[in-house]
Structure 1
């Protein structure tokens, strides 16, 4: 017997699906009809009303990344939708499932100079997995279900569904139960080509990407690395997937690879990549396998495979593929000599960082590496670090200056390195993380871009601790300008008086720490304040010369390197002598 369900409006139908899917939190800034808010009134679904659609999309993405579920972002039409585009680009590049529900111009008013009219589908289509517009009330239910199906199935990613103005009122009828999400077969068979490469390798490396986020709870990747005797690396977005206290973990690949890991990269005879598109930062420089070394790639999506490298490809879910390899390989012993090389590289990186921290301890000023070391000692083991990708917050990408052991977490921007993403996304991460401490490690440029929604977090009691590295502007661009040695240029990306703008709100705690002696106490207080549901802002003034190893050698985007530019003048204590 068919039972029909009547909804008062399309937004009530959309909320009905949210409740069915157990969606607990929605982010956005809805259109003028406010139909979504009316539909949410009688439910327990939490609506985070943001001040900026960019912040809403970033938060929804952060929430999805941390929770492992599909995020939801609701916005209006026209400029409201264009404000979301950067977030869509970030979500697509990170492979994050987010459903964007947007308003749209009524069919009868298209091409008639309607208010906020914009042909939105062509605009969003290149940035999403799937995009559609509801052109008839009967199409709403199946398209809502299709949106969630597409966002979370296969290789995840953002989707877009437009609900035009003429459909925002009027009853919607559902004549069947809500559809269930599809079941996914967990077992796969190992392929001969992959097994041949694995059996022939004596010096393997396992590289784990962000596509494995939330797919390694049982430690299957570490067990596989143990079985074949592989060194373990991750991409930036793959951090938090594997236990970085594992004895075979040697850091990140590419741009962020420790110099001490060089012998591993130079001598490996097989690179196994799982859940990575092998973006440019992951393959850059000496932190990657030498030309000609076979690369065995595993990815859910063929579009995520690199065709620039020799080797073999396996289309499938990474954990299932790795499990099939372990079953097929048996228990042959791994190469003991290679294990020794890997262990020596890991120990070398740890020793180098310990020595560097010892040197910095003799300095009178506070350095970023010391901030991270203090945070490591002070924050609870289950902390989650949310990062930007600026000149100085990039220190956290360099193992072992920052280490993510089992139980801790990491959220970073994609290879797009979208400015402001980590600052806003931290709110969504915290809402998904519950009682776990969330620390956003950001620059002042990123913080300023989305500071309006820091007040949003305060109003909702979302306790994030922001460690804001204040170098008074856009440090990366200034460093590029300085590299070219033109001290007489009239252009600057830093400002003499760029004070940090922190929202004045009772639920915002803010302090400035410029001295090394007071940082640990201030950090402890910030963690305490954020645990009470307050937004804590710990502002740390820095000089622009405090940059991670090797970063100052880059010239703009990849793969250039500054080889002819004179060095930035520095004083004996390390401060740069350019005028600020």
Structure 2
């Protein structure tokens, strides 16, 4: 929505600061913001204000990357991510980032400059109706017109971004507020967020749960940072459910649990598909049930087989599926259900779930043994080397190209023992993971952060490789490890050049020189060209070098045919739009 801020009663002079950006910076510090990503306007008023308030600005080269970084920070930390840009083209450069933040449900605040009120409509330098540009992609879009509205607008934006179904918001600070007195009233008492839910004994959802004999619990990205005490696993154990997740829901549950059967939909392992076909109830926690999450579902799911959806926001409910809907926080609802349901784990179903989990692990061990005997290096072996050489609490930041999608396949990559995962949303913006890794690094403290990206995504991002170096030099803990899969192909596009469209075979969708390319030479970046024989040693050396805050790039030559969906054309492996 686009907000028009009304005027308010001015406060006493003692509550004023000089300049709107100094007020904004003070308000950010008040909200607990420690780092902002972006590229300030030419006048540098915002940079000066952040410095005075003790808020660090990570200077980016590309405004799109800045919003990606803020999104990565928000997804990893659960706290507000903030991006700062100028006006006009600086704002339009952020649109892809806002699209990704909106689809990911990331609490991000985008701050921008704006044309002074007295110059609007005059063809002013970089003049643009910025609210109209960003409004479709944010929860609220506010242009502050009067000094009295700076503090209320920023405080409201922070509250909206971080409440309910979280998402991005936008606040524009026009140039006519740069040098005026701005009131900053004392903060209001903290917002109360109750953390309990009650469930009526005759609840339709409880009726379904009590009668289910073959349930599956599907965990989505809306459950990020909501399962610290493992209530989801306890609930699944109580009702005897298999555990699955969407790509964005990885890291919510411990994937070492014998109830975990891998991802859902497009990324579901073949072994798990029989369980999905036989389920008599699916409980969905914090997912909008996008296409990739439901791809391959039998017609019975959501028709004769109930899908119980739990979502904090009604707008996130997929109304095409039949079954009870519960509006509330997934963790709170699971805790309430635990008090109402009795142990009902059907022995035969639990046995099948256990067999699928252990079967997936056995398959993976056999796969690695078979690949070890082959001369070529495989992406699956790279993931295994990362798993073997890096600490268990690593955070993997992913892209969604063709070969990097191996990391979506459990147990080839596993979120267990504290490991984390940050993935693109359903929008899968190219370059998101490479840039978001910088924000994740800022939020991860002393945890290892690995970006697992294709060469195309890395090339799109590499203008901000110096930003990664600068962040590591001033932050505690390890730096960043970029694993760049170099095949020279345009991912899914190249994979479609098959017999059915051989007339297009001359289209330039592959760059052979990219296979042996490296990242731009840059001080502070250590590069390794990985080979199969030295893989484990190269990964171990890269991690050792990254521990002092540096940036390490592992350049991994890969083959175009080494892809998770290599045997399928796009129309057969991925849902087409209706």
Fold shared by both chains (TM-score > 0.5) = yes
Alignment of 1:49-448 (within 5 A): 49-174=59-184, 176-191=185-200, 192-286=203-297, 290=301, 292-329=304-341, 331-448=342-459
Give the SS at the match of 1:276: coil
Deviation at 1:457, TM superposition (A): 1.1
Give the SS at the match of 1:442: strand
1:527: which partner in 2?
Answer: 543
Closer, same or farther: CA 112–534 of 1 in aligned 2, 3 Å: same
Normalising by structure 1, report the TM-score: 0.93
Q: 1:507 aligns with which of 513, 524, 527?
A: 524
Moved more, 364-373 or 476-485: 476-485
Deviation at 1:109, TM superposition (A): 1.6
Q: 2:553 aligns with which of 537, 545, 548?
A: 537
Give the SS at the match of 1:308: coil
Stretches of structure 2 that go unaligned for 5 or more consecutive residues are 1-10, 474-478
**In 1, Cα distance between equivalents of 2:407 and 2:219:** 18
Closer, same or farther: CA 180–519 of 1 in aligned 2, 3 Å: farther
Offset from partner CA, 1:375-421 (integer Å, 9 cap, x none) = 11111011000000010000000111111103110000001011000
Moved more, 408-417 or 344-353: 344-353
Moved more, 331-340 or 176-185: 176-185
Offset from partner CA, 1:421-472 (integer Å, 9 cap, x none) = 0000001101111111000000000000010111111123261100000011
Moved more, 400-409 or 547-556: 547-556
Offset from partner CA, 1:286-317 (integer Å, 9 cap, x none) = 58974531000000111100011110101111
Moved more, 60-69 or 230-239: 60-69
Deviation at 1:357, TM superposition (A): 1.6
Deviation at 1:509, TM superposition (A): 0.5
Deviation at 1:554, TM superposition (A): 2.8
Closer, same or farther: CA 520–288 of 1 in aligned 2, 3 Å: farther
Give the SS at the match of 2:502: coil
Normalising by structure 2, report the TM-score: 0.93
Closer, same or farther: CA 534–230 of 1 in aligned 2, 3 Å: same
**In 1, Cα distance between equivalents of 2:299 and 2:252:** 19
2:8: which partner in 1?
Answer: none
1:568: which partner in 2?
Answer: none
**In 2, Cα distance between equivalents of 1:29 and 1:506:** 22
Is the CA contact 2:223–2:252 (under 8 Å) kept in the aligned structure 1? yes
Equivalent pairs counted in the alignment come to 558
2:6: which partner in 1?
Answer: none
Is the CA contact 1:95–1:157 (under 8 Å) kept in the aligned structure 2? yes
Deviation at 1:487, TM superposition (A): 6.5
Is the CA contact 2:148–2:182 (under 8 Å) kept in the aligned structure 1? yes
**In 2, Cα distance between equivalents of 1:163 and 1:417:** 30
Stretches of structure 1 that go unaligned for 5 or more consecutive residues are 562-580
Q: Does 1:459 align with 2:475?
A: no
Q: Does 1:39 align with 2:49?
A: yes
**In 2, Cα distance between equivalents of 1:88 and 1:180:** 30
Is the CA contact 2:217–2:282 (under 8 Å) kept in the aligned structure 1? yes
1:566: which partner in 2?
Answer: none
Offset from partner CA, 1:530-552 (integer Å, 9 cap, x none) = 11111100001111000115763
Give the SS at the match of 2:506: coil
Closer, same or farther: CA 338–2 of 1 in aligned 2, 3 Å: farther
Alignment of 1:23-38 (within 5 A): 23-38=33-48
Is the CA contact 1:272–1:295 (under 8 Å) kept in the aligned structure 2? yes
Is the CA contact 2:26–2:53 (under 8 Å) kept in the aligned structure 1? no
**In 2, Cα distance between equivalents of 1:3 and 1:341:** 70
Closer, same or farther: CA 241–476 of 1 in aligned 2, 3 Å: same
Closer, same or farther: CA 478–464 of 1 in aligned 2, 3 Å: same
Q: Does 1:559 align with 2:569?
A: no
Is the CA contact 1:422–1:442 (under 8 Å) kept in the aligned structure 2? yes
RMSD: 1.8
**In 2, Cα distance between equivalents of 1:111 and 1:42:** 34
Is the CA contact 1:254–1:287 (under 8 Å) kept in the aligned structure 2? no
**In 2, Cα distance between equivalents of 1:488 and 1:209:** 38
1:476: which partner in 2?
Answer: 492
**In 2, Cα distance between equivalents of 1:560 and 1:46:** 43
Moved more, 455-464 or 433-442: 455-464
Deviation at 1:519, TM superposition (A): 1.1
